[in-house]
Amino acid sequence: MAKTGYHRADRVADQIRMEVADILMRKIKDPRVQSVTVTDVKLTSDLRIARVFVTTMGTEEEERNVLAGLAQANGFVRGELGRRLSLRYLPEIVFAKDVSGPRGDRVLKLLDE
């Protein structure tokens, strides 16, 4: 019988989400990334790539600036994660815009109609 539930990748993803949020809030001084919220982290099954989903309030231009700031801080964030986590292989960090919020709002609006 197959086990269902909480797998190691899920636990590591939760830990990465908390640590990246803390690093962005406390360690990064770039004003472009001050208003970022880390919403989710998806890890590949081999734990080599972590896709970090972020959201921010602002226009499309501000969101592009935020993603550019995160891309620039990627090496620093990964280095901090390496100091905080005990993993054999530190996953490559890929920041991505979280589109689930607007999509969920649209679904709720359609359900209300």
* 3 lies in some domain: no
Q: What pLDDT was estimated at residue 1?
A: 45
- Run of H or E including 3: none
Residue 16 domain flag: yes
Q: What is the pLDDT of residues 19-45, one digit of tens each?
A: 999 999 999 998 988 889 999 999 998
> Which range marks the domain in which residue 47 is found?
8-112
CATH number of the domain at 41, please: 3.30.300.20
The answer to whether position 26 is within a domain reads yes
What are the CA-CA distances from residue 64 to residues 33, 50, 85, 87, 97 (Å)? 11, 20, 29, 31, 9
Residue 13 covered by a domain = yes
The whole-number average pLDDT for the span 70-86 is: 94
Number of structural domains in the chain: 1
Q: Considering the domain boundaries, does residue 58 fall inside one?
A: yes
Q: Is the residue at 1 inside a domain?
A: no
Structure tokens at 1: 């019988």
Q: Is residue 2 part of a domain?
A: no
β-strands 49-56, 92-97: how paired? parallel
Residue 56 lies in a domain: yes
User: What's the pTM?
Assistant: 0.81
